[in-house]
Amino acid sequence: MIFVLKTRRHFECKKWIISPFWFHYIILLAITSESLTMSGSRTIQHSKRARVPVIRYEDNWVCVNKPAGLSVHRSANSRRNETTLRSLLKRQLARKIFPVHRLDHRTSGAILFAFDAKTTANIHRRLAEGSKEYIALLRGIWKYENKKVVIDKPLKVEGVMKDALTEFHLISSSSFCEMPCTLVSCKPITGRTHQIRRHAYQLGHPIIGDSQHGDSRVNRSWRNVRGLDRLALHCLSIQLQNDSKPCIAPIPQQMIQVLQQDIMFWEEIVNLDPRFMLHEVDERGGTYGRNYKNRVIE
């Protein structure tokens, strides 16, 4: 702990007596329990800095598991000094990153970043030819005879109507606690703003936790009774063109805990899709850049 004093008289600092030095600075180095406590608290604060889980790290791009409630990058609606996924990841990987696509602020799951502009364009093209799969918890019991329903309805984007197509696949339904819900897999064929959320509303099954397209009273009940304080939408998988290995983002723990409240519902889900049992993944090997594939593992 460092004290810098300018004095004409004696000062007493706990066990130390500081002699007078006329208009001079006195630098006193002292280690006390208080300084250790303060230092410890700073260390703990630093260690609590959010780390973004890395799903897959390649030479020129990376796939991470975005937490809910975090914007990908700053926008006109961003608050001053708001932390973004891009800024966190740039600091974490210690290199420039370029978002290939985006996820809504309240949506969690797999998202791709490239390390240079050329790769960004390449991965964006491969993603357009590939596919994305989301998991959503919808309000109400599934009311359709078929397990697969396709919503093909144009959506207005910045004042212009654009084609939009989303596939919904039934996984399971539940009426636990007299709060009916349906878990579905969603595959957006096009990529419009809030496409899955808006098409789920048109489907007649709004996504739970969606304050813009859902029911605030229902959302409040799920928050107070079931403990779901987020939008129940998660990007589970990204499959790039000519890539045999999909990028899978494990389901967030909060969503898992909500689903597990109904045991029979949960058992049916994991039997139909074992990916719900995947544990959290975080490639913590560091930044390897272009030497990633050739690095020497000690």
Structure tokens at 1: 């702990």
Q: What is the CA radius of gyration of the chain?
A: 26
Residue 179 phi, psi (nearest 5): -125, 85
For residue 104, indicate whether it is catalytic.
Answer: yes
Count of alpha carbons within 13 Å of 57, Cβ hemisphere only?
A: 20
Structure tokens at 209: 């936790």
Which of 104, 163, 243, 282 is an active site residue? 104
Structure tokens at 272: 């139909």
Residue that is written with structure tokens 């109400």 in the block: 140
The DSSP annotation for 91-106 comes to HHHTS--EESS---TT
Structure tokens at 54: 């890395």
Question: Alpha helix locations (H) across the chain?
Answer: 33-47, 85-93, 117-129, 195-203, 216-221, 253-259, 263-272
Active site residues: 104
